[in-house]
Structure 1
């Protein structure tokens, strides 16, 4: 571990924010958003001996003052009341709670504030120079709005965290969202802010919730040109996904020059995911954190905070995908070959599907896509449109 200039305490490479309290964010046993995936991931990382006890930092609760950075008081009070049985689902509908997507559950305010507090814990470790990187897989609830829950998300930890880093550290923040669903809540929170750049690569809203994230959504007022959307076609495979991601991220980061990167790592662009229509494999989850890591060192002195997000095949996809963020963050060798048999044996009993026994996916995971060339071309056109403004400004200055 390196020493931080002017301090005696060593800087850690990365910290892992986690406690079993994060599992309290639970709508029901049958709801697709299932935080058991955190437990599965932690257990997998411990099974391959890449996560130690002293890497794990307990999340704190976000304070009311902190939650108010991203949410209205009236909404926060409604969430508190709902979680204590003082608000009916009918009354909650105006706030997006008590719906099929975001049902009321006991102590929902406390559980949601813990998720936000985990991301703020990660931010403080990185911004105060105690750790180069930080991971809070419990976070990434990117659909939450100022006064309304949406898409399984009650409080938007990324929105609060970005406002927090602006206020406390005067930081210029690049937010990268690779969830298959558009990062709408975060985008709209900073749509007119020139000091926050939001980038979302997602399945086109023609087929998928929340239906936003068109390439033409570029920001407004002083923030025009700091919102980037890359809506890729349904059935997009690894090669096209990664071409769009790598090209866009490198050019946008060089253009924006952030102080810190916050990346949202939804693991729902995989072929197995039950809620989306993308055809990704584990290969994209190997590459996504690798580029974020490189760019953080190139532009931000290493400052990189990563959160979780979507991911609805909690057995076959999420633990493998999220484990690769941590091994990348800590410069540990990429796990290859077989998953630990002890992990497979332990969880296969509970899993409703047969677990994948290897780190990478088996070959021929799906039938070849007949429209592959057409999809790739459409995605390339989206990329060109998204980067048009940056490239034209660059050519003027040459």
Structure 2
């Protein structure tokens, strides 16, 4: 097995562009890759591009009529059909939409294939993580659900247990829906509570289809305002125990950066340093429970200068076993690139000043008056007994 991680990258993914007024600005991808290069992480990983996902691969998750609708809207955006979630405020149609969406999905599929075949242990596609797309519709800025397609491809290749851990601020609803009835896939999502944030799903009681798949979906609905200590407490109170029980052959993780306190679309208060701590934890958990097989994806994140590039550059460094020191000064060349592209000032360091982040382990005791602890316990009570685990 190669000792070098893969970074899936094709400049054309920056064509995933809903327009200048849309919050998902593709500059976040270009700036991330620029920061990866500024830290010379492209020498620590192997940068490769995969081919776009073909129709048969897309149909592992998406209905044929939906793929046809995306193609039609891609050729003529004015013909987008809103019954498929296309041509909406969240998912406006644009020329070439099918092609670039299939390209992003192809990078995640390529990452999964390389990890499964033993060509590498770790693979990153920070352009991916488009976790809201449903089998028959676009949703939440997501056209094709690359995360679900990559998992479905792993199953097609013979994987019997794949774990998906999603730490985006929004519920990983599309991936959960794709595998709701499939006991081979464990989906775990930590997200802001559905009472206060799109997509209004991800309640603790959502645990998978009755029967063999029951307990295959696990949801931690975090109170708005949750900060570093609570977020990390919730992650460590749920994820490691589930992975130890499930013993996945591959760990797929989604690292949306929109949990950050600067993100304009959500209400958590997590720092870059806590995001880095969870990335490190996912890397360790992949080695502990999945023989090191780790596919790491991007996701949401709308503080496109201050947060997203730094967060995902840390992710690439961790996967490439060349961690970026949080206190390091960001290269001036990248700061110049930021100003040239956005006319915004760039951050100076790879930290929010909170490293190292500390939290209280779940085993230290439960506080019945604490809303975060109430949320964690609700998840453990709903899902853990279904897996034969104590709440």
2:288, 2:133 → 1: CA distance?
31
Q: How far, CA to CA, are the matches of 1:357 and 1:54 in structure 2? A: 24
Give the equivalent residue in structure 2 for 1:351: 342
What CA distance in whole angstroms lies between the structure 2 residues aligned with 1:375 and 1:287? 26
Q: Distance in 1 between matches of 2:367 and 2:142?
A: 34
The alpha carbon displacement at 1:26 in A equals 0.9
CA deviation profile, 1:271-302 (whole Å, cap 9, x unmatched): 11010111111111211111111111111110
* Aligned with residue 136 of structure 2, among 140, 143, 147: 147
Alignment of 1:1-398 (within 5 A): 4=1, 11-52=2-43, 55-85=46-76, 88-89=79-80, 92-221=81-210, 222-335=212-325, 336-351=327-342, 353-362=344-353, 377-388=370-381, 389-390=383-384, 393-394=388-389
Tell me if structure 1 keeps the 8 A contact 2:226–2:268: yes
Query: Is the contact between residue 233 and residue 375 of structure 1 (CA under 8 Å) also seen in structure 2?
Result: no
How far does the alpha carbon of each residue in 1:281-325 deviate from its partner, in whole angstroms, 9 at most, with x for none?
Answer: 111121111111111111111000011100001100000000111
Report the number of matched residues: 376
> C-alpha root-mean-square deviation of aligned residues, in Å?
2.0
Q: What per-residue deviation string (whole Å, max 9, x for no partner) do you get for residues 332-364 of structure 1?
A: 13323311122112212443543221111157x
Q: Is the 8 A contact 2:223 2:371 kept in 1?
A: yes
Distance 2:44 2:285 in 1: 28
Q: Distance in 2 between matches of 1:14 and 1:86?
A: 38
- 1:70-126 alpha-carbon deviations (Å, 9 max, x no partner): 01111111110111117624xx10000000100000011111110110101101110
Aligned partner of 1:7 in structure 2 is none
With over 3 angstroms needed to count, the CA separation of the structure-2 counterparts of 1:54 and 1:256, relative to structure 1, is: closer
Q: Between 351-360 and 152-161, report the one with greater CA deviation.
A: 351-360
Runs of 4+ in 1 over 4 A off after TM superposition: 373-376
Paired with 1:80 and 1:110, the residues of 2 have a C-alpha distance of 8
Following TM superposition, by how much is the alpha carbon of 1:33 offset from its aligned partner in structure 2, in angstroms?
A: 0.9
CA–CA distance in structure 2, aligned partners of residues 385 and 45 of structure 1: 39
Q: Distance in 1 between matches of 2:75 and 2:116?
A: 35
| Counterpart contact for 2:74–2:97, Cα < 8 Å | yes
Partners of 1:23 and 1:260 in 2: CA distance: 28
Give the superposition deviation at 1:54: 6.7
The Cα of 1:374 is off from its aligned counterpart by: 9.6
Given the two structures, how large is their TM-score scaled by the length of structure 2?
0.92
How far residue 49 of structure 1 moved from its aligned partner, in angstroms, is 1.5
User: What runs of 5+ residues in structure 2 fail to find an aligned partner?
Assistant: 355-365
Unmatched 5+ residue regions in structure 1? 5-10, 364-372
TM-score (norm 1): 0.90
User: Alignment partner of 1:261: what SS?
Assistant: strand
Query: Is the contact between residue 251 and residue 295 of structure 2 (CA under 8 Å) also seen in structure 1?
Result: yes
Mapped contact 2:44–2:320 kept (Cα < 8 A): no
Which SS does the other structure have where 1:223 is aligned? coil
How far apart are the structure 1 equivalents of 2:45 and 2:280? Answer: 24
Q: Deviations for 1:258-279, whole angstroms, at most 9, x for unmatched residues?
A: 1100001100000110101111
Take 1:119 and 1:217, find their aligned partners in 2: how far apart are those partners?
26
